[in-house]
Amino acid sequence: MVCRLDSEPWEIRDVTHYPDSRDMDFRRSFTAIAGKLYVSGCDEMKIYDLTGNTWKKGKKPLNYAEWQASAASSSSLFNCGGCEYSDNLLYSNYYTSTLVAQQWVFRYDTVKDEWSRLRDMKHARLEAGAIHLQSSNVLHVIGGAQNLLQFPFIGRLRRRSDRHERLDLRTSSWEELKELPKGRASPALAFHKEMIVMAGGKDKFDSPNNNVWGYDIRMDSWREMPSMKKCRHRHGLISLGENLYAIGGKGEASMEVFDGRSWENVPVTHDDFNDCMHGCQMISAE
């Protein structure tokens, strides 16, 4: 199910059902721009119009990819890294397959209805975090997992990435920045009070955590912030007014707020809302 979370008071509203019930792990990327939800990856894109309450098929991405990091500007969405299956692999043998991390970066222009490939990242990874900063027109890609091997009855073997790099979209050049204190996969990012805040994610043991770090753009440095109450990954992190909100995550449906001093639970109830595996903030058009 796709839900909308409205504030003042906090209320969850049913919006629509996710368009592909086969994808139980939700390997696609979710971004929201100007009243539309874009679900991309796995060789397709679907677009949900909140005004018309309708799904439509979007422009096919340039490459098959899963577990990409996604970010949005006022008129574009960005999919970074991710992995691809070899041509002979299907969902049925996902747990015995080798997933190869990629350096790809793709941009979808919502006005031109057009995909383009940008310059590759310096480091290949999947399940990273990404964020676009409108004021400087740059794209940050942080953390993630490097090449992944999966074995029956054993699980996934992968190395967490602590890499942090930035793409200047004006010059099409990448720059390596201060690495993370600890490698994390599937974190959530938000720009809040002149900092990039990274919350949660999976550690080297594939376990979700509640760590929060803030990146000072001017000083190129990370500092530890108060930890969330819940351990989360594949969740949403939203900057709204003076506060930060951590929402959902795999196997998690709670919400908490950070007021600059500590995290506190926010009561949100919904009969069918017990697992929120993606969360994104609606970006306004220019």
Which are the contacts of 177, defined by CB distance < 8 A and separation ≥ 6?
140, 164, 165, 166, 215, 220
Q: Give the highest mean pLDDT range of 31-45, 130-144, 257-271.
A: 130-144
What number is the average pLDDT over the span 257-272? Answer: 84
In the chain, what percentage of residues exceed pLDDT 70? 79
In Å, the largest CA–CA distance within the chain is 51
> Tokens representing 180?
């993370």
Which are the contacts of 102, defined by CB distance < 8 A and separation ≥ 6?
65, 81, 82, 83, 84, 124, 126
Confidence grade of residue 96 (pLDDT, cut at 50, 70, 90): very low
Confidence grade of residue 185 (pLDDT, cut at 50, 70, 90): very high
Is the predicted pLDDT of residue 74 greater than 60, yes or no?
yes
Q: In what order do the strands lie in the sheet containing 236-240? A: 236-240, 243-247, 255-258, 263-266
Is the predicted pLDDT of residue 11 greater than 80, yes or no?
no
Residue 176: CB atoms within 10 A of its CB come to 11
pLDDT score for 92:
39
Q: Residues 202-256: pLDDT tens digits?
A: 998 889 999 999 999 999 999 999 999 999 999 999 998 899 999 988 888 888 9
Is the predicted pLDDT of residue 97 greater than 90, yes or no?
no
> Tokens representing 266?
């926010």
pLDDT score for 273:
58
Is the predicted pLDDT of residue 271 greater than 80, yes or no?
no
Q: Residues 130-184: pLDDT tens digits?
A: 999 999 999 999 999 987 555 554 455 568 999 999 999 999 999 999 999 999 9
Q: Residues 46-57: pLDDT tens digits?
A: 999 988 889 999
pTM: 0.90
Q: Which domains does the chain have, with CATH numbers?
A: 2-283 (2.120.10.80)
Mean pLDDT of the chain: 86
pLDDT score for 21:
60
Is the predicted pLDDT of residue 100 greater than 70, yes or no?
yes
Residue 117's DSSP bridge partners are 106
